[in-house]
Amino acid sequence: MTKPSQYKALFAPLKIGPVTAPNRFFASPHSTGHGWTEPKGAIALRAMKAEGGWGTVAVGLTEISPSSDYANHPMERIWDEKDIPRHHLQVNEIKKHGSLSAIELGHGGMQSRNLTTGLPIIGPSNLSILRPEIPSQSKAMDLTDIKSFRNEHKAAVKRSLKAGYDIIYVYAAHGLSILSHFLSVNTNKRLDQYGGTFENRIRLLKEVLEDTLEMANGTAAVALRFSIAEPDKPFGMSQDGEGRDVIEALAEHPDLWDINLSGWPKDSQTSRFADEGFQLEYTNFVKSITSKPVVGVGRFTSPDLMVSLIKNQQLDLIGGARPSIADPFLPSKIKNNQIENIRECIGCNVCVSMDAYGVPVKCTQNPTISEEWRKGWHPETPPISRKKETHLIIGSGPAGLECALTLANAGHEVTVAEAKDEPGGRIAQESKLPGLNTWRRVIDYRIFQLSQKKNAQIFLSSHMSINDITDFNSDTVTIATGATWRNDFIGSTNFDPIETNNYNILTPEDIILEKFKNSHKTKFIIYDDDHNYMASVIAEKLLNNNHDVTYVTPLPTVSTWTQYTLEQGAIIERLKSLGIKFALNYKINQNFEFVNTIDNKKLKLTSKNVVVVGGRIPNDRLFSDGQLFNTVQNVFLTGDCLVPGTMQAAVLLGHQTARKILDRNADALHSKREQTIH
Ligand SMILES: Cc1cc2nc3c(=O)[nH]c(=O)nc-3n(C[C@H](O)[C@H](O)[C@H](O)COP(=O)(O)O)c2cc1C
Ligand code: SF4
């Protein structure tokens, strides 16, 4: 295989303390949502990254002891000897592909829940814990508690070494670690040798790092994951303040520095709010202070940027959490000169939302993630069919394209008929909204892949009638015609239509397609009963065009669901900066009044233009009138036209439909389940 010379630097081995990484691709620590109770799923997911060429694969946050109990947020555990075999298997599966394995040992401190263990939550001070959903305080650790915590950490290191890990992490990042809680003036109010001055607050981190190095004793490398800056926090770490001081104080201690931003919303920023490489401005200086290797993150998907970071000595290893989820084979595609085949992360954070739900991670770009063990799906090796068939797919949105690509990859003749004059369905539309351009990658990747195949074609401006479909005479027909935004105020909190003749009712589509054009400043009300990103981007578009916008929602918070993608804070800040007005807790009634759900007061409407962002109606006419069934044997419905949902859900449905088509007699969607009692 050719290894393009311009990317050679990415494939140079690198010594990390006593171990050597085979290349510069570092799959950063991330939880997979399987937790310690579904290890086979997590192991298969991580092994897939090793198979795809990530030279180092890190396991996500791993609780070191029962005093750091995150249940029911599925994390890894290494509490005692019984956990070792599971980790040992994980290490072997990663190493089988020649990659290094790393474990991120962590204690949640004031972020722990301890709901199952019932143990006191511990931290530097007696304060409310950092979880508003749990009404508990942390116990201020006395010197005996500190000693036992250090012993617990040492014991976890010992178990990790037994399991065979090459790199052992000390975790002081995201404000999710007891070590960060000791470091920060926000949470450390102690007056003893562990509080007050910087030297005192860093003491525990230094001790734990030294303990870990001593335990590893040159048999494994020791990494320190540290968040250099906390841009949102008053008195937080900063790259020119205490964040830098920590790097200087511990410069030559760890074998590897893994640096990033805190809190998690800053570290895993979406493409709407941050471009590729967004962390570099904070982390650039680290290599000038330490001689030890440095790994950093920032949604890196461009091989050119990656190689320039190595060559310019900004980083030694390219960290990737989301890019490695979206494409576990990113490194081997670069190695094999197949850059155009990389399925680039679009920065939507649906993966993060799954973590928040506590379920195995899902991804908009990679529908096979988390299905490696459960369903035996491989992201690069499609099931190949022995008998060649013809398949017609109507609609070229995310579901239609994914279905078409999976069928074409399996060797079938695939035709996609798109009624519009551009492909892409909802993504072609939504990606025109402010900040959402990167989402085009979902359709661009699939359209390019299909364009490279002799057995696939896409026809635009091809409106298909029942007769056209029948005449086409394909083995199967899949209808993927998407959904249309409702204008009748049926949404998440209202299931009955509301009508009015007194207002100009618009939908997101009207704004996206600029059906409402007005050069002078106009007042708009946006009624959000969808609660995802859409109302906020519509608002942003109107505000960018200098209109006056009031955001109204029946819920108590703005774009409520976006808390799961970590965007809610950034959305509020952006809309505020553009001059929006917010009216929360106002629910529409049948008289077309917006009534406050707390004090029953009515909102005074100052505009006749109301954009309603509510539910969507599936465009399933071709399917629902039943005629197709009389003439065509195998008809499938998929994506938003089966059930409107997220882009990720549409891609997954498209993939599932293709799998069903490929294996019509068997249960292609059967999932294995992990059982604890056999
Ligand atoms: C689903 C998900 C889970 C994560 N879990 C962890 C974790 O367990 N420990 C950790 O240090 N970072 C975790 N992270 C943060 C990533 O390691 C990484 O720092 C961040 O996503 C930025 O890198 P990226 O732009 O390459 O995704 C997680 C990220 C994602 C997307
Ligand atoms: S879900 Fe979105 S952000 Fe997460 S890895 Fe996939 S494409 Fe990237």
DSSP class per residue in 648-673: HHHHHHHHHHHHHHHTTTTTTT----
**Cβ burial, residue 606 (10 Å; 0-12/13-18/19+):** exposed
* Out of 66-75, 202-211, 644-653, least confident range: 66-75
Share of the chain above pLDDT 70, in %: 99
Average pLDDT over residues 168-174: 97
DSSP 195-215: SSSHHHHTHHHHHHHHHHHHH
Structure-token pair, residue 109: 């401190």
In angstroms, what is the span from residue 580 Cα to ligand 1's centroid?
32
3-state secondary structure of 507: coil
DSSP 221-258: EEEEEEEEE-TTSTT---TTTHHHHHHHHHTTSSSEEE
Looking at residue 382, its pLDDT comes to 83
pLDDT (tens digit, 9 = 90+) per residue, 1-50? 445 689 999 999 999 999 999 999 999 999 999 999 999 999 999 999 99
pLDDT of 1 reads: 47
C-alpha 55/C-alpha 14 separation (Å) is 10
Say which residues have a Cβ less than 8 Å from residue 271's Cβ, sequence separation at least 6.
299, 346, 347, 348, 435, 436, 438, 439
Verify whether ligand 2 is closer than 6 Å to residue 365 (CB atom): yes
Whether pLDDT at 88 is above 80 = yes
Question: Which comes out higher in pLDDT, residue 587 or 356?
Answer: 587
CA distance linking residue 339 with residue 341, whole number of Å: 5
Cα-to-centroid distance, 28 and ligand 1 (Å): 7
What are the residues facing 320 on neighbouring strands? 27
Q: Write down the pLDDT at residue 668.
A: 72
What is d(CA 141, CA 669) in angstroms, rounded to the nearest whole number?
50
What average pLDDT does the segment 283-310 reach?
Answer: 98
Distance 230 CA to ligand 2 centre (A): 23
Residue corresponding to tokens 């629902």: 624
Please tell me the distance from the alpha carbon of residue 47 to that of residue 44, in angstroms, as a whole number. Answer: 5
pLDDT at 628: 83
CB contact at 8 A, 558 and 572: yes
The tokens of 358 are what? 């506590």
Chain segment 109-146, per-residue pLDDT in tens: 999 999 999 999 999 999 999 998 899 999 999 999 99
Which residues contact residue 370 at a Cβ distance below 8 angstroms, ignoring those fewer than 6 apart? 32, 33, 34, 41, 45, 360, 361, 362
Q: Indicate if the pLDDT at residue 185 is higher than 60.
A: yes
Mean pLDDT confidence for 470-482: 96
Q: Are 96 and 161 in contact (CB under 8 A)?
A: no
Query: Which DSSP symbol is given to 271?
Result: T
User: Measuring CA to CA, which residue among 204, 365, 214, 347 is closest to residue 268?
Assistant: 347
Phi and psi at residue 294, to the nearest 5°: -125, 130
Is 299 near ligand 1, meaning CB less than 6 Å away? Answer: yes
Kindly state if the Cβ of 355 falls inside 6 Å of ligand 1: yes
Atom of ligand 1 nearest to the CA of 225: 11
Cβ atoms 185, 130 nearer than 8 A: no
Give the Å distance between the CA of 47 and the centre of ligand 2. 19
Q: Look at ligand 2, atom 2, and give the residue with the nearest C-alpha.
A: 348
Per-residue pLDDT, averaged over 458-487, amounts to: 96
Asked if residue 569 has a cis previous peptide bond (ω within 30° of 0), the answer is: no
pLDDT digits (tens, 9 = 90+) for 411-454: 999 999 999 999 999 999 999 999 999 999 999 999 999 999 99
Report the pLDDT value the prediction gives residue 71, as an integer from 0 to 100.
86
Q: Which ligand is nearest to the CA of 270?
A: 2
pLDDT at 4 (0 to 100)? 64
Q: What is the chain's alpha carbon radius of gyration, rounded to the nearest angstrom?
A: 26
Host H or E run for residue 617: strand 616-618
How far, in Å, is the centroid of ligand 2 from the Cα of 653?
16
d(CA 272, CA 437): 8
**In the prediction, which pLDDT does 289 show?**
98
What is the whole-number distance in angstroms between the Cα of residue 353 and the centre of ligand 2?
Answer: 10
260 lines ligand 1 (CB under 6 A): yes
The token duo for 110 is 């004031």
Calculate the average pLDDT of the chain: 96
Residues 6+ apart with CB under 8 A from 225: 29, 104, 169, 170, 171, 172, 173, 258, 259, 260
Task: Answer whether 301 contacts ligand 2 (Cβ < 6 A).
Answer: no
Mapped onto helix, strand or coil, the DSSP state of residue 402 is helix
Choose the residue to mutate in 32, 168, 256, 267 for probing ligand 1, maximizing ligand atoms within 8 Å of C-beta: 267
Q: If you take atom 1 of ligand 1, which residue's CA is the nearest one? A: 352
Do the Cβ atoms of 126 and 140 come closer than 8 Å?
Answer: yes
Q: Indicate which residue's Cα is closest to atom 5 of ligand 2.
A: 322
Tell me which of 277 and 625 has the higher pLDDT: 277
Q: Of how many residues is the chain composed?
A: 678
Structure token digits, residue 129: 């814990």
Tokens 């290890």 appear where?
39
Answer yes or no: is the C-beta of 28 below 6 A from any ligand 1 atom: yes
Of all ligands present, the nearest one to the C-alpha of 260 is 1
Structural domains for the chain: 5-357 (3.20.20.70), 390-482+620-662 (3.40.50.720), 485-617 (3.50.50.60)
- The DSSP letter of residue 192 is S
Q: How far apart are CA 79 and CA 426, in angstroms?
A: 46
Looking at the CA of 349, name the nearest ligand: 2
pLDDT at position 666 is 73
Mean pLDDT of 81-97: 98
Q: For 85, which DSSP code? A: H
Q: CA 565, 571, 573, 577: dihedral to nearest 10 degrees?
A: 160
Distance CA 32, CA 39 (A): 10
For 353-385, give the secondary structure using H, E and C. Answer: HHHHHCCCCCCCCCCCCCCCCCCCCCCCCCCCC
Residue position matching structure tokens 């499609």:
382
Q: Is the CB of 297 under 6 A from ligand 1?
A: yes
Query: Which ligand 2 atom sits nearest the alpha carbon of residue 271?
Result: 3
Instruction: Please state at what angle helix 84-95 crosses helix 39-51, rounded to 10 degrees.
Output: 20
Report d(CA 655, CA 254) in Å as an integer: 43
For residue 338 the two structure tokens come to 């197949």
Eight-class DSSP state of 186: T
Q: 318 — phi, psi (to 5°)?
A: -95, 110
The finding on whether 322 has its CB within 6 A of some atom of ligand 2 is yes
Q: Is omega for the bond preceding 504 within 30 degrees of 0, making it cis?
A: no
User: Tokens representing 431?
Assistant: 């990606």
- Check residue 564 and report its DSSP letter: T
- Determine how many CB atoms are found less than 10 A away from the CB of residue 631: 14
For 565, the token pair is 């993608």
For ligand 2, atom 1, the nearest C-alpha belongs to 363
What's the pLDDT at 3? 56
Tokens at 540, concatenated: 């942003």
- Encoded tokens for 428: 């072609």
State the SS3 of 8-72.
HHHHCCEEECCEEECCCEEEEEECCCCHHHCHHHHHHHHHHHHHCCCCEEEEEEEECCCCCCCCC
- 343 ligand 2 Cβ < 6 A: no
